[in-house]
Amino acid sequence: MLCLAAGAVSTVLAIESFTLTWIHSIEKIRWEEDWRIAGHALIIDEARIRGSGAGMEPPAGSVLKNGVWHYRPALPPQAVLRITHSPHAAGYTLCTAAVCQPLADLLPGIDNNVVIEIRECPP
C-alpha cells in the first residue's frame, strides 16, 4: 500500500509500484522515475529523461534509446519521498499499471507550495 499526504489531506493507494513523472519547469522536458515498495521502503528501479537541456545532462552511464535517456539512479532505499506542489511549475503525475493521475487530483484541496510525502503505509 502506498500513502500520500500533503498537510491534512491524505490518501491510500493499493499498489506495489508506480511511476512518478513531471515536466522540467524551464526546459519543458518530461522526467520519469519507476518506484516500487520493498518492505518499509521505496526503491527506485529506473529513471528516464525524454531529452536534454541546459543544466540537465543525463547522468554517467545513461543509455539513449529512441530519444529517451534511461539510467538507474544510485539512490539508497527511501523511507519517504518529499516533493513540493507549486503553482509555479506543472504538477507531478503518479502512474500505476492502470492509470496516470495528477497528484493534486489524488489529494484534492491541497494548498499551493505544500510538501507532498509519498511512503509505504504502516501496517
Confidence grade of residue 37 (pLDDT, cut at 50, 70, 90): very high
CB 38 within 8 A of CB 47: no
Q: Give the rounded percent of residues in the chain with a pLDDT score beyond 90.
A: 61
Res. 24 pLDDT band, cuts 50 70 90? confident
Q: What is the mean pLDDT of residues 69-83?
A: 94
- Domain ranges within the chain, ordered by starting residue: 2-120
Per the prediction, the chain carries an average pLDDT of 90
The pLDDT score that the predictor gives to residue 54 is: 67
In the block, cell 499498489 appears at 15
Task: Tell me the mean pLDDT in the region 51-73.
Answer: 84
> 121 and 1 in contact (C-beta within 8 Å)?
yes
Sort strands 93-95 and 100-102 into parallel, antiparallel or unpaired.
antiparallel
Residue 123's contacts (CB-CB under 8 Å, 6 or more residues apart) are none
- Name which of 26, 12, 30, 117 is nearest 69 in CA terms: 30
pLDDT band at 58 (very low <50, low <70, confident <90, very high): confident
pLDDT, residue 10, reads: 93
To which H or E segment does residue 35 belong? strand 30-38
Place of cell 489529494: 107
